[in-house]
Every structure is written in structure tokens, then in C-alpha cells.
Structure 1
């Protein structure tokens, strides 16, 4: 022991500390395994779902062009867009310009080719061909640099009536990617309509067997779990079950995605009231949030089925609804959601960009004070510093703010932000 330690009087012998450490070694290991914290990777702000038979080589570009055309028709300048959404005057030009640039540069951050509800039951030969085609198009887009940062499929679920078909589609798609050069870094798979942990365990076994068959590193394939059934939230014994689903994934779960309409229907909510902001939805998402906290599993909200189509008044009404729902999710720490139509992209990015730009100066100032241990009217703790750095990084990653803006205001660079997160 050093001189400073010996100069301080203590009563407990070192053997006691060693005994406590030994007794908690298992807990330490379990905490590290179950709660590794945020993975530190980029999280997309949305997931776009496209039926497998509608997915094409130009889907990403086409969605961007359609979204820009919707802006041109219904909000051709920053003032018009601000009037529709209620954006503050000083923020309107910043948001509008960045939204248009995003739609040209990267209109879709995460794309899911849907073989489930958006595709439906098809003859086996037809779905086989669609899975082969999807793999070919994804591989080509990745090779040519035209793929979104994240892309993959939603297969059919593990319920008995569609299980074999879902497994076969997964196998055909992954095999096609391997034959075309390998699994892309941004590959994402979605397992829908999960009710019991055993279904997640079955997905883990499929991933393990595919990795063995193709000589892949163990753990290479992860997947999202879609929360669309009441049983995924509350089990038959009355206990919360989402944490069991995460545990059953054995470290392969990357996200929990809330399914607005299936879950609402399961709760008996009539069609006119099925929405992301229904109390039944809020309850489910709150349970998901607590279960996922600290695990590194990301959360995604669902979608609205009100499409911005038709005349200008109808489009603007749908935009206002979508913008408000996205802002509501962001305030509740759901940083991702689903978009079902190109017309949703302008308000997705408007809501996200306004959210991060509005809070930029305050968040950066608080982080600067924390790093400098300076004063101010708020005294933040390390947990808040993690939240502040995560907020700023998410803003940078989606294009809402520039890293140079954050660095100038907070006095930290990307590496420091990552370390704080």
C-alpha cells in the first residue's frame, strides 16, 4: 500500500474486501454480460418498409425524388414548410435546407424488404424468386455504393402456419448474399410477431447454423425483435416478458420495434383509434424501454397509417400529424420509427432535425460545463453527460447538426463524444 493509504485509519482488514469481491464476482460478470451499454454505433432515425415485390434497384433514389416532389408541390420554400409544421422562424430555413439536402443525399437510412404483412402469402416458387431477387439487388446496391447504411428483410414469423416459409426465405436471402460476396456490414433482419422466448431462441439457432454452414464468425448475424403481441409485454403468469425475449437472443438482439397496429388490435383498440400515441401503445413502449435499458438493444417506435397523399390540404394535415408523432417519440427517447410512404420522409427529417437543432446550444453548453467542471445553473452527473453526448452524436450522424458546430460549442471532438457516451 502507498503512504497515503497507510496514513488513513481503517478498521476492515483487506481479507473482507477480498471476500466481498469474491462473493460478487458472479454478479459483476452478469452485469457485464446483460448490460454492456450502448454499442456506440449509428442508429438510423427510421426504418422504411417496402413489400418484396415492390422493391427495385431504384427504390432508394425513387423515394427521395418522390419526397422532394411532394415538398415542391405542397411546401416549396422554408416559409411554407414552417407554416405547415409550426417551425420557429429562425429554425425554418436551417431545417428546410437540411431536409432537402438529406432527401438528395441519403433519403433512406434503413430499408426493410418486407416478406411478411406487406407481402402476404404467395406460392413458394414466387417467394423463392423474390428472395433471390432481393439478395441480388441488395448485393449490387452495396457493391455500387447505392445502398442505405442499413438494409435487410423482415421474414415471416415463427408461428406454425408460416414458420417453414419464413425460415426458407431467410435461408434463400442470406445464401444469395453469401454467393454474391458476403453479408454486408449494415445487414439487419427483423423477426415479427414474437410471443414467446422460445421463438427468439429458435431464431438464434437458425443464425448459429447458418454461420456454421457458411464458415462465418459466431455471432455475426443479429436480428431485431418486433413487439406486436400482448404476450410479448405480459406473460400468462402476469410477469413482464420483454426482458426474457432479450435474454433469449443470447446477445444477438439489436433492436426492439413496436408494431403499432398489430399490438393495438391485440389490445382490442378499434381501428379508428389505433395510433402511436394511444395509452396502450405508451404502456407497451414504456415496458420495452425499461427492459432494453443498458442492454445495448435499440428501440424503435411504429408508424402512422395516415398517408400524405391527395390535395395540398390533405397532405399538409397528414404532415402535421406525422411531425407531431415523431416529435413525441423523440421526446420519449424513441429515436427511431417506421415510415411507410415517400411522403413521410420530409416530416420525418423535419421533426428529427428540429429536435436536434433546437437543443444544440443548450446540450453543448451543458456538456462543455461538465467537461470543464464549470458552474452554471445546472449541475450534471456522469449519466447526464452520457445522455448529452449521445444526443449530440445522434444529431451529427443523421445530418441535423455538423460536427464542427458541436465542437465549437462543446469544446470536444468526436472521440471525446464517443468516450463520454
Structure 2
């Protein structure tokens, strides 16, 4: 296959894409190169990656520090098993993570992906409760409008009705769900009433509470106040529950805070990180936990060991790149760029919430969301953004952007124009 059309036709007929049928109902765009904030398409178009490639390429594509780290590592040891062996890349990135994470999160388990890190976090919570003498605590509590991944444990704590996994009702483990959290800037009394509702969902079988702190991602792109996160920490303390913070999307500066939990002034018992961990180079995630949780897991009652061990656990190549990415985060360059991006997104989208068909516009850190009042035509809205020179991937009623932290003012202006154009395309679709 030589021509772009041949490649695309094979792709459509033989390769599954996320949440799509077979064969694909809509043809994908063929990317030939990525550099900085730009994607080069096979048709010659150069477009801004307004999604940071699903929030992972936070430093832009092919950042020189990450390229150099990958090149050095691939020349010495691309992979080695982690059972019985260890290596400097894993040790170095773990050390950097421990230094950056909220105090007390100093035990690191490397996983293959964000979803797998959630699976590991669930295992940690259940084994911790066994180690504490509570084998009856086998259930999880969360809130609606959440998303934690596509593996079975992770799916069980995604929104069971409004999310992407309703097909698996009756197959997934049954968990407890509080209502969706009140949105950002709600009254303190509403926060308190909500936490009381959350507490009423705790029973003798509850092992842990798992949430996405401050920003709910693919379940609805909803924002809530840090006070809710602090309140959930207090609930877990009061009932001896494990607090799991899924920071796969929110970690490493995306919300304007290093971690959303840090911004709320709390330390979770377990924190999942991924996506930006390798700066978009390759898949790697981690579940971080405390000495208390690790000791209970490692006790005879807790199982004596954490029962998980991926083949590619702590892949040296991924760890080397992750160390370079985390060091960039540690340099705190994003502390200047993310607030600027937030201000520019806010200015560029001002007034859009008054347009017909637009239900809400919200911005936090390097995140912008335009919520329509009905589901959007994904192809029409994507095409409208591409016409402005930006790659976006709307879903449901949401048109959103998560630009790379290295985006310039001019590039953010282009992204806000693309969001407006996509919203206009959504407004003009039949109702």
C-alpha cells in the first residue's frame, strides 16, 4: 500500500478505533508527522493538536528533552523484565514522582496504562481492607458522571447509565453511586448537603471512595470545587476508607495545580497518574500509595504481596522518557504558561455561552469546554475545527480543547476560533 487512500481504506476495513464500529462509519484522518503543537496530515494540512493527543502530549510533540531520553535509552536497554530485576530509569522516575506527589505518597507501582493503574488501585484498596481485618469491605463508592477507563474494574466505577459502558450492566461488579457532584462555585451549603448524601451511601461493605478530583473527564467534562475533594478526604478518614484519586487526566499541571488533590490541600491514600507522565511518547502509568496502605497489603492478612505484575511493567524506555517528562514538570515552566492559556481561553470564548444551542462554557487551567444543549454531529464539528486549522475530537454534547502547555498566544487564539466554529456547526445541525 502506497497511496494515502489505500492506507485509509485498509484502516477503515480492518483496524478498530476507539468506541467505533467495524468497518468504521467515518474515515479517520491520516497523520504523517507531529512536531511541537502541530500535526501534519496526509492531505498537506498542518493543524494544531488542540487535544494534546487525548491530554498526553502536554509538552507538545517530539520535545527535544524527551527525544534525547528515548534515543539514549533505546541504545542501551529498550526492555527488560521487572520481576527480580530493576534498572535506573524506573528508579529515577519513581524518585521524581515521589518528590512531586503530595506528601506521603512514596510507594510506586508502574502500570501499562491509566486503566490498568485504576485496576491496581482497586486491588490495593481491597487488599488494604483485608490487611486491616475487614475482608467484608469489597465495594467501591463513587459519584455519577465519572470515567476511569475501559477495563472491567475501571468500568465498574464509571457512570453506569450516562457513561460509555451501559452495555455491560449485569456483568460488571455492582458499585455504589452518589449523584453527580455539584458544579464549581456552588454555595458551601450545597457542598455540605452533597457530602452528607455521599456519606449516606457508605455501608459496612464499602472499601474505598474513588473520584476524579476537581475535573471529571470523559464522563462529562464537569468541574467541581476543591472543597468537595477535601470533604471526601474527611469522609474516608472518619470511616477508615481508602481515598483513591484518579489524577490520570488532571495531574501534572493540567488544571493549573501540580495535582488537583494538592490544590485541594489533601493527600489521597492512592493516586493514579498517566497520560502526561511520558509527555505523549508511549503508554505508562503509575499507582502511588502510602506506607500505611503498603504495609497492610504486605501483611499476611492482606495477601503478603500486591497481586499484579504486567509483562511490560516499568519498561525502561517508557521510564526514561517519563523521567524526562516529569523533570520538565518539575521545572515548573507550566506555572507561567497554563495561567496565560486559561486567561486566553476565557477571553476567546467570552459570550459564546449566550449563543443559541450553547448550554455552558467553562475554562479551568488548560481546559476549555463548550457544552451544547444536544448531542453534536462529530464529523461536522470536527470538520469545522479543521477548517480553522485545529484538530478537536468532540463527543456527546461536548466540544472541548486541552492544548499543549507550550501553545503560544496566537495558537490559543486559533483554538478558540475553532471551538467557536465547531459550536456554530453544531448549532446549524437539524434538531
Q: Output the TM-score relative to the length of structure 2.
A: 0.28
> TM-score normalized by structure 1?
0.28
Return the structure number with greater relative CO, CA threshold 8 A, min gap 6.
2
Structure holding more helix per residue:
1
Give the structure with the larger strand fraction: 2
Q: Greater Rg, structure 1 or structure 2?
A: 1
